[in-house]
Amino acid sequence: MKYERDGSWNISFNRLLAKHELINDSYKTYAGQKYANYGTNKNIRSEAEKKSTHSQIRGDGINNFYAYMKDYKNRYAKKKGLAKWDCYYEKKVLNKINNMYEITDNIRNNNKLYNKIIYNKYLIRLILFCLLPCIGLLMPLFFNKYNPLLKKFCFSDCDESTHQAAGGKTIDQVHDEKGLFFASISYEHFKIIETLNTVFVSLLLIIVSIVVFYILLKYIKYARLRAGKGKMSLKEYCTFSKDLITAK
């Protein structure tokens, strides 16, 4: 009888031991699958985070943009001073950027010549605006000592001492001998024009730089609206801007 009871205990113990091993094996299998799934999900999340920022600002994000633009009048009424001007021009710039995105979408979906013309119109205007400071470079490029045409001209206040005329020759005689002509402006007036041109180029560079920088900031803001990004820390903003600008 005792043997039978001991045998029953052994059988029960073996069954419990087998059950425990089965549970342990099942847990290891589950843990392995869970770890594998975690690694897979982590890779998926990593790839999603690497997704181009340009693609994130399309699609459903347009609702965020329209919601923001719809509240323009309320924002404009609350602004004062320069903030009011910023709000006014922000609306214009954001609308232009949105138009550009809509045109590029139309070009992808419907490759029509009209869409390309509109897109090129925006692009050409921006390029020409950025090239405005180059206008001021025309003067120093033309009026330099390497221009052979200028060697035939003298300022209107040119005199004998300028050419070191010898033998009592007049300035007209010296010009006739050397084939020189009088310009319509004096040297003093030319220096004034040269100074004004330098100021003009400097102002254009400042204005173009400010406008381009302003457009870039609004472009980043447009991308944030379309991507559904709210308030961001400086580090997050810099990272988002870098991804946006360097995205292919």
pLDDT digits (tens, 9 = 90+) for 78-90: 999 999 999 999 9
Q: What ranges do the domains of the chain cover?
A: 1-50, 53-130+185-246
Q: Is the pTM of this model over 0.75?
A: no
Over residues 115-166, the pLDDT tens digits come to: 667 667 778 888 889 898 888 888 888 887 777 777 777 777 777 666 665 5
Residue-level pLDDT at 120:
74
Instruction: Please tell me the distance from the alpha carbon of residue 224 to that of residue 167, in angstroms, as a whole number.
Output: 79
Query: Residue 199 and residue 133: Cα distance in Å, rounded?
Result: 11
Instruction: Quote the pLDDT of residue 90.
Output: 93
With cut-offs at 50, 70 and 90, classify the pLDDT of residue 67: confident
Alpha carbon distance 162, 170 (integer Å): 12
Residue percentage of the chain with pLDDT more than 90:
15
Cβ within 8 Å of residue 215, ≥6 positions away: 93
- Give the helix ranges, DSSP H, for 71-186: 72-78, 82-109, 113-130, 138-142, 160-163, 171-178
Instruction: Classify residue 244 as exposed, middle or buried by CB count within 10 Å of its CB (0-12, 13-18, 19+).
Output: buried
Higher pLDDT residue, 213 or 64?
A: 213
Q: What is the mean pLDDT of the chain?
A: 73
